[in-house]
Amino acid sequence: MAVDKRGRIGWFSPDPRAVIPLDARFHIPHGLRRVLKRKKFEITSDRDFETVIRECARRREGTWIFPGILDSYCRLHRLGYAHSIETRLDGKLVGGLYGVALGGAFFGESMFHRATDASKVALMALVERLRAGGFVLLDTQWTTPHLQQFGTYEIPRHEYLWHLEHALKLKCQF
């Protein structure tokens, strides 16, 4: 993560670590279920990776996504490690998220929305994709009120490292 505007990069390993459950504990808020009945979001993956990461940087006050970080993630995307989920309404990109997939772990990095609930829909689509691909770990690093409504919880570092070791041994398809 970039730690200043000069692009210096720092390594963060929070303890405790926040994860989103990929099992039945993943919770879709009731209000979001109603939104999905009214709005017809189109979901795509890896179609607009660079735009998604640029929007994540643009819409964050005090962003850590500086040019060097952006370039690095775009390179990881070209190499097949970084991925995006995009949400669209009427063909227009209105939300999304991106992260890195390694083995059976996905490391969520950032999300954005231009339309209400668009990033939440992207998160739901991500969880569905990870489940279908056999992933076992969805790492969000930190918890936020936004993520807590989906069942995000924190685990101590030693427990996280055990889950990570197991997940990295898997061969999963994003």
Distance CA 118, CA 97 (A): 10
Tens of pLDDT, residues 132-165:
999 999 999 989 888 999 999 999 999 999 999 9
Residue ranges of domains in the chain, CATH in brackets: 17-168 (3.40.630.70)
The pLDDT assigned to 38 comes to 81
Q: Which residues contact 141 (CB under 8 A, 6 or more apart)?
A: 12, 14, 17, 18, 107, 108
Q: Is the pTM of this model over 0.85?
A: yes
Largest CA distance in the chain: 45
Distance CA 107, CA 66 (A): 19
- What the block records as the tokens of 77 is 């995307």
The pLDDT assigned to 12 comes to 75
What percent of the chain is modeled with pLDDT above 90?
74
User: Order of strands across the sheet with 153-155?
Assistant: 42-45, 82-89, 92-102, 105-113, 137-141, 17-20, 153-155
Tens of pLDDT, residues 4-50:
666 667 677 889 999 999 998 999 988 888 888 788 999 999 999 99
What count of Cα atoms within 13 Å lies in the side-chain half-sphere of residue 78?
7
Which of helix, strand or coil describes residue 47? coil
Q: Report residue 63's pLDDT band, with 50, 70 and 90 as the boundaries.
A: low
The pLDDT assigned to 99 comes to 97
Structural Rg of the chain based on CA atoms: 16
